[in-house]
Amino acid sequence: MCLPFFAYLCLLFVSCKEPKLGSDLLPDGDNTQLYRESSLKLEISTEREDSVRSDELSLNLLGAFNDPVLGKIHSSSYCQLRPAVSNIDFGAGATADSIVLVFPYKSYYGSVSKLNGLQQFSVYRVREPFWKDSIYYSNDTLLRDIAPLGQTAFIAPALLDSVPVGGKKEAPHLRIPIHAELAQEFLANQSSLANAEVFTEFFNGIYVSAQTYLPTGNQGAILDFNLIGGARIDLFYHNDSNDSLKTSFIVNESSARFSRFNHTYSNPVLQALNNTDIGKQQIFLHNMAGLRGKIRIPELLQWKNNRNILVHQARLTVTLDESTQGDYASNPLLNIVLKDATGTLILTPDLLVGNTTYSGGEYNSSAKTYTFNLARYIQSRLNGLIEDEYFYIQPTGTGISAYRTFLLGNENSLGPVKFELLYQVIPDN
């Protein structure tokens, strides 16, 4: 949901310059009197995100990860399948040989080693219809069978190893063997496989989940898959004329699909939620509809003190907490966002400029920092155009990636959060 258009117009035309982060604001010789302010206090805490829309995204997440800091992280996926060809004809004497679910690997976050990466993957039959033109969120569920259609042993996903199938090598993928009863059901209901419409009424879709081999420690990974890039069920069979036949049921652009996320966060994370004392030392950010930073500047309007303030630059700089980040990559881009009256996240006036050169948020690997420009937001707060005093550090790609990013808090001696204003006082007429 967005703010009304006229309100954003007001925000866009506040009188602040648009400098590049880190550059001088005014040309040589400009005698405008500028002031710096870096003593404003910040109140920071970690906030839990409720859910995100997770249908028809570019990637689907699947896996179980026992994060050494955050706790237990799970992602599962729902998807529809459709016959790869219309009017399938199995031929006389058709008999199933095997049936398998194929999910081509994309990448992962966590561990896929044989020591720590063992996971068991299970596939279940969905028992209610779902549709591509409907909206699904990361906490939605669908009715499914209790018993799985099939599952793997505990395996370490091999994202770099090709897979031999029928004497040929295929790109790395997850294979989940499915019980032969489903194959026989398909063969016995050939008319229900005639086209996508009748097939999705007969077979609503699948739900795929995972669990780690051990419930604690640094175990498992969240894997991401481009389901429309080759995900399918392959049915191998023979008939009276041929002993080596295959038909497939694929995930394509017309298939409904969405991810479901579950988090069982650790006690340190639970204690940090909305606790500004812990926010003084550490801020937890986590993708997958997980965690974000919640910030306010409680003395901002008091500091204004009825003056006419023209903001030229407002920088917020946060530092990565390498001591707890460990070997896991941090999110390469963070955003500063706001909430509307319904609690829906919306863009700041600075993000509306449309480029990170102005708004910032990219990770600086040399300095280990993220820097944001909040000039338009601060100006709008001072002008009364934005009333809510909170803004949020939001991980990007929260529905399609599993990044966790730990930041130093505003009083952490290793690299406290810095907030600096460069401004001008406009005399009263």
Report which residue type is found at 77: S
126: left (phi over 0), alpha (psi -120 to 50) or beta: beta
Out of 255, 274, 292, a domain closes at 255
Amino acid sitting at position 183:
A
* Statement to judge: residues 36 and 66 lie in one domain: no
The 10 Å Cβ neighbour count of residue 305 is 7
Q: For residue 78, is it within any domain?
A: yes
pLDDT digits (tens, 9 = 90+) for 332-349: 999 999 999 899 999 999
Is there a single domain that holds both residue 320 and residue 229?
no
Residues 73 and 21 in one domain: no
Q: How far apart are CA 332 and CA 6, in angstroms?
A: 33
Residue 30 has a pLDDT of 55
Instruction: Name the percent of the chain in helix, strand, coil, to the closest 5.
Output: 15, 40, 45
Instruction: Kindly list the distances between the CA atom of residue 369 and the CA atoms of 19, 72, 218, 313, in Å, as whole numbers in the listed order.
Output: 19, 27, 26, 18
3-class SS at 180? helix
**Whether residue 175 is found in the same domain as residue 295:** no
Half-sphere exposure of 25 (CA within 13 A, CB side): 21
| Residue 198 included in any domain | yes
- Do 14 and 385 touch, CB atoms closer than 8 A? yes
Q: Is residue 260 part of a domain?
A: no
Percent share of the chain, pLDDT over 90? 83
Residue 236, CB-side half-sphere exposure with 13 Å CA sphere: 12
Q: Of 224, 255, 286, which residue sits at a domain end?
A: 255
Q: Is the dihedral of CA 141, 121, 186, 180 positive or negative?
A: negative
Residues 71 and 219 in one domain: yes
CA distance 327 to 113: 14
**Do residues 286 and 195 share a domain?**
no
pTM of the full predicted structure?
0.89
Asked if 66 and 32 sit in the same domain, the reply is: no
- State the DSSP H helix or E strand holding residue 295, giving kind and residue range, or none if neither: strand 291-296
pLDDT of residue 212: 96
Mean pLDDT of 371-386: 95
* Beta bridge partner(s), residue 206: 79, 125
State whether 150 and 241 are in the same domain.
yes
Tokens 């003593």: give the residue: 39
pLDDT at residue 31 is higher than 70: no
Mean pLDDT in residue range 52-72: 96
Asked whether residue 261 is assigned to any structural domain, the reply reads no
Same domain, 138 and 219: yes
pLDDT tens-place string over residues 186-227: 999 999 999 999 999 999 999 999 999 988 888 999 999 999
| Domain final residue pick, 255, 280, 298 | 255
Let me know whether 189 and 85 are in one domain.
yes
Q: Which residue has the higher pLDDT, 21 or 216?
A: 216
Strands 219-225 and 60-67, bridge-based pairing: antiparallel
Residue 22 confidence (pLDDT) above 90 = no
Q: Is the dihedral of CA 92, 96, 97, 99 positive or negative?
A: positive
In total, how many domains does the chain have? 2
pLDDT computed for residue 320 by the predictor = 96
For residue 44, give the H/E element and its range. Answer: strand 43-48
Q: What is the pLDDT of residues 260-303, one digit of tens each?
A: 999 999 999 999 999 999 999 999 999 999 999 999 999 999 99
Q: Could you tell me which of 177, 199, 195 has the C-alpha nearest to residue 186?
A: 199
**Residue 228: DSSP 8-state:** G
First to last CA, the chain: 39
- How many residues are present in the chain? 429
The pLDDT tens digits of the residues spanning 297-332 come to 999 999 999 999 999 999 999 999 998 888 899 999
Q: Tell whether 99 and 231 lie within a shared domain.
A: yes
pLDDT tops 90 at residue 164: no
Domain span including residue 214: 60-255
Q: Tokens standing for 382?
A: 């001072």
Look at the block and give the residue holding tokens 């338009």.
376
Q: Which two tokens stand for residue 140?
A: 């939605």
Residue 22 lies in a domain: yes
**Average pLDDT across the chain, whole number:** 91
- The Cα–Cα gap between 154 and 118 comes to 5
The reply to whether 41 and 67 lie within a common domain is: no
Q: Which amino acid is at 315?
A: R
Element (H, E) at 223: strand 219-225
Domain contains 83: yes
Query: Residues 304, 313: contact at Cβ < 8 Å?
Result: no
Pairing of the two strands 404-408 and 418-426: unpaired
What's the rounded Cα separation, in Å, for the pair 86 and 198? 11
